[in-house]
Amino acid sequence: MESISLVLKSIILGIIEGITEFLPVSSTGHLVIFQNLMGFKSSTQNYVEMYTYVIQLGAILAVLILYFNKIKETIANFFPQKVGYERSGFRFWFMIFIACIPGGILGVLFDDLAEQYLFTPVSVAITLFLGGIWMVYAEKKFRNNKYYGNDLKVTARQALVIGLFQCLAIIPGMSRSASTIIGGWVAGLSTVASAEFSFFLAIPVMVGMSFLKLLKIGGLAALTSTELISLAVGFLVSFGVALIVINSFISYLKRKPMKIFAVYRMIFAVVVLLAGFLGVFY
């Protein structure tokens, strides 16, 4: 019965991860809250942390599938002969590398500190609420900035600005997606270009972070068969849900503002804070 419960919880969390990873609502924050709420735990040390990073890889796989043609284009034109330098695959991935630098440095310095003190439902809820207010302000002030190009034509300055904003995602509840999209607005990118650059940026950032964390935590050898099944189920569910959500999100951004996500963040945060006050979380 316990094994069935673990797998069922894994399915629910995989759905939550797939929905929230690329929306500006903080997947990490949602996982912290719902893992606590459902009592998602195991006898194996660090299993829950390992689970979190494995299902994030499932969501990233969805990006690789959906943007396979664009990725293939950057590789085919890595050092282009017949297209301009602005379409160079080397240039594009170098811009991604530049955007990774600030977060990489701050992650090494503060990631463990954030995990120690900020990974609680109440702190996440506060960040979700404040981040929602910030999103409303940023969209009103920066969304209609002059549009300077698409995700394959990001300049070094724009990449650095986006990378600096991405550093805010170290705080659980802030949202990597929200931070990078707002960074794209400030840098002068359109909403869709900002979101798609954010997706590409997630590939090295999240794959690198997940593998480093998994190496630090330890391998799969110590896991029980139920825990391995739970990991596999969470990974596949996260992947499948993210496939649907990414396309829907981009389609939404082409037509409507992001304010609805900010409102959701604030309402959800208030509900979580009330639940915390009532002693729902442990």
Residue 49, CB-side half-sphere exposure with 13 Å CA sphere:
18
Residues 33/55, Cβ–Cβ less than 8 Å: no
Q: How many domains does the chain have?
A: 1
Give the integer Cα–Cα distance in Å for 282 and 269.
17
* Residue 46 located in a structural domain: yes
Flag whether pLDDT at 146 surpasses 70. Answer: no
Flag whether pLDDT at 86 surpasses 60. Answer: no
What pLDDT is attached to residue 269? Answer: 97
* Residue 221 located in a structural domain: yes
Give the integer Cα–Cα distance in Å for 6 and 248.
30
* Residue 131 located in a structural domain: yes
Residues 106/260, Cβ–Cβ less than 8 Å: no
Give the integer Cα–Cα distance in Å for 8 and 15.
11
**Which SS3 state, helix, strand or coil, does residue 260 take?**
helix
| 44 Cβ contact list (under 8 Å, min separation 6) | 222, 223, 224, 227
What pLDDT is attached to residue 152? Answer: 64
What pTM was computed for the model?
A: 0.91
* Residue 238 located in a structural domain: yes
* Residue 282 located in a structural domain: no
Which ranges in the chain belong to alpha helices (H)?
Answer: 2-20, 27-38, 47-66, 68-76, 89-117, 121-142, 156-166, 176-187, 191-217, 225-253, 259-277
**Which SS3 state, helix, strand or coil, does residue 278 take?**
coil
Residues 13/234, Cβ–Cβ less than 8 Å: yes
* Residue 209 located in a structural domain: yes
Residues spanned by the domain of 193 = 2-277
Flag whether pLDDT at 69 surpasses 60. Answer: yes
pLDDT in tens, 187-224: 999 888 899 999 999 999 888 888 877 777 776 667 88
Token pair belonging to 136:
């409303």
Flag whether pLDDT at 230 surpasses 90. Answer: yes
